[in-house]
């Protein structure tokens, strides 16, 4: 490893023969010193495989990289998306911590859109509609879907259903369960040109037989109007918000319908509070900074190729999917901002599932497999259900799995031996409230951005997403029998699709 991260190699070699159990035994104060709280969120890094000297080196890197200044540049609306020459102003969607005119202007636009959302919510609440179909894909789906699944109350005014997959079976199965007379649809697409979304939108539009129950969220009002949706039923998007960072905007309208506007605004407030913490807390007390430095340590000093996220609350079952897009789309880059190759490995593969289901799936590999997988364990201290025994057992499993990964278990039988020394971070929410979930998601957003600063890459473009979609558009006529493919392997596959091997 070279560059600003090169100093980590020395510490990784120094610690290579020291187990987590020994690190904790030799420094019992790390159990509290390597922990911090930000509002409703508590984090404990004591089971990460670094000691105080290595942590000092990480924070020295953070100082040299000016991570505090990087956060301020992001929130103030500087052009941190250098390859596309624009800002990434998603923090302005939820708060007004910015100091510059561009960010304040963005916040004003976001507040105006929020007022429009309130008006459309009230309009729908006065109608006979009970079912909402949210049509989008990627960032126009994963974030709002997570919010609705995690926070919608049992007695919500609307039931929200999400349709993203281009496969027609998804639309067929969903619509078979609903009554078109009691349904409305929200089509979410920044360009209003996303093929998957428009094809599904056309299916739902024909099924509804009433354009007056179609709503849109887009940055392309002309295309929205051409689709048949009136401006009064259209909400704005902006080019300074990437899809994976857009759940705080009108893209979250479907989630707001599921949660209620009051809860959605509490979500924004919790997110803004984490922004304020990230901007104001010293590096050593800054939760996103700790999280980002830990991620870089695991990836570059310890060579971890994957990262698991394991929420121990059924309501957070969709969090791994949202984080997969947020982290891997943002950090899946191999060149620096100046176009030169990166000097170190960037993003690991993110994956996960909700506990305790996951314990009966892939935990065997976590405990005894040949590759060490760092884990983010996420728990909720106070449940909102009356089943106390279940919640106690769930928390016991959460704490036990982290302990078992760290400490392992000795045995004379090699098949029964658990090597341990497998690192994890524990994140605890006081309760799964809108504000707490907002803070948790923003923690990951800022951690991702700070990792990109340390690697010198752009967290806000996504050119890798576009190539396959462009080729699909080019191949569509060939699929329909009106052309041929240039690639020889694709030509052979097309022959199979047409029944001509």
Which residues are catalytically annotated? Answer: 329, 360, 469
- Between the alpha carbon of residue 437 and those of residues 304, 314, 427, the distances in Å are 27, 14, 12
Would you say 8 and 54 are in contact if contact means Cβ atoms under 8 Å apart?
yes
What span, in angstroms and rounded, lies between the C-alpha atoms of 273 and 282? 15
- Between the alpha carbon of residue 207 and those of residues 26, 174, 200, 212, 224, the distances in Å are 66, 11, 11, 13, 18
What span, in angstroms and rounded, lies between the C-alpha atoms of 441 and 143? 9
What span, in angstroms and rounded, lies between the C-alpha atoms of 462 and 138? 12
**Element containing residue 196 per DSSP (H, E):** helix 195-208
> HEC states along 265-285?
HHHHHHHHHHHHHHHHCCHHH
Would you say 474 and 94 are in contact if contact means Cβ atoms under 8 Å apart?
no
What span, in angstroms and rounded, lies between the C-alpha atoms of 309 and 443? 14
The closest alpha carbon to 216, from 131, 205, 152, belongs to 205
Buried b (16+ CB within 10 A) or exposed e, 75-89: bbbbebbeebebbbb
Buried b (16+ CB within 10 A) or exposed e, 343-375: ebebbbebbbbbbbebbeebbeebbeeeebbbb
* Paired residues of 352 in beta bridges: 309
- Between the alpha carbon of residue 361 and those of residues 72, 280, 357, 451, 479, the distances in Å are 42, 41, 7, 30, 38
The closest alpha carbon to 383, from 441, 419, 430, 435, belongs to 430
Would you say 366 and 360 are in contact if contact means Cβ atoms under 8 Å apart?
no
**In 306-374, alpha helices (H):** 319-331, 363-368
Q: Sort strands 375-382 and 424-431 into parallel, antiparallel or unpaired.
A: parallel
């Amino acid at each position: 490893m070279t560059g600003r991260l090169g100093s980590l190699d020395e510490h990784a070699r120094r610690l290579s023969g020291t187990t987590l159990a020994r690190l904790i035994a030799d420094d019992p104060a790390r159990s509290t010193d390597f922990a911090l709280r930000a509002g409703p969120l508590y984090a404990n890094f004591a089971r990460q495989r670094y000691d105080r000297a290595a942590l000092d080196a990480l924070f020295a890197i953070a100082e040299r990289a000016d991570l505090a200044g990087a956060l301020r540049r992001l929130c103030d609306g500087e052009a941190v998306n250098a390859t596309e020459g624009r800002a990434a102003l998603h923090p302005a969607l939820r708060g007004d911590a910015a100091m510059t005119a561009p960010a304040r202007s963005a916040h004003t636009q976001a507040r105006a859109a929020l007022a429009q959302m309130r008006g459309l919510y009230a309009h729908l609440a006065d109608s006979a509609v009970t079912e909402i179909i949210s049509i989008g894909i990627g960032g126009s789906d994963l974030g709002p879907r997570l919010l609705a699944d995690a926070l919608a109350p049992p007695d919500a005014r609307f039931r929200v259903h999400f349709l993203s997959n281009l496969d027609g079976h998804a639309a067929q199965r969903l619509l078979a369960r609903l009554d078109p007379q009691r349904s409305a649809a929200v089509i979410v697409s920044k360009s209003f040109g996303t093929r998957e979304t428009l094809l599904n939108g056309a299916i739902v539009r024909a099924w509804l037989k009433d354009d007056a129950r179609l709503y849109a969220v887009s940055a392309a009002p002309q295309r929205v109007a051409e689709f048949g949706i009136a401006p009064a039923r259209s909400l704005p998007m902006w080019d300074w918000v990437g899809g994976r960072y857009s759940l705080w905007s009108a893209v979250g309208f479907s989630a707001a319908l599921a949660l209620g506007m009051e809860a959605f605004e509490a979500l924004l407030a919790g997110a803004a509070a984490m922004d304020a913490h990230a901007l104001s807390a010293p590096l050593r007390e800054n939760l996103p900074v700790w999280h980002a430095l830990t991620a870089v340590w695991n990836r570059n000093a310890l060579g971890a190729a994957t990262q698991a996220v394991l929420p121990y609350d059924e309501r957070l079952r969709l969090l791994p999917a949202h984080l997969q897009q947020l982290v891997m789309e943002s950090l899946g880059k191999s060149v620096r901002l100046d176009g030169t190759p990166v000097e170190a490995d960037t993003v690991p593969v993110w994956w996960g599932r909700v506990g305790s289901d996951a314990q009966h799936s892939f935990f065997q590999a976590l405990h005894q497999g040949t590759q060490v997988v760092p884990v983010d364990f996420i728990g909720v201290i106070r449940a909102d259900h009356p089943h106390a025994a279940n919640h106690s057992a769930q928390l016991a499993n959460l704490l036990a799995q982290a302990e078992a990964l760290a400490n392992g278990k000795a045995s004379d039988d090699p098949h029964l031996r658990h090597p341990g020394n497998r690192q994890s971070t524990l994140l605890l929410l006081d309760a799964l409230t809108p504000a707490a979930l907002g803070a948790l998601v923003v923690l990951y957003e800022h951690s991702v951005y700070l990792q990109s600063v340390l690697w010198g890459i752009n967290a806000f473009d996504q050119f890798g997403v576009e190539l396959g979609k462009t080729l699909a558009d080019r191949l569509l006529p060939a699929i329909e029998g009106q052309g041929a493919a240039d690639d020889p392997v694709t030509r052979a596959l097309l022959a199979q699709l047409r029944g001509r091997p």
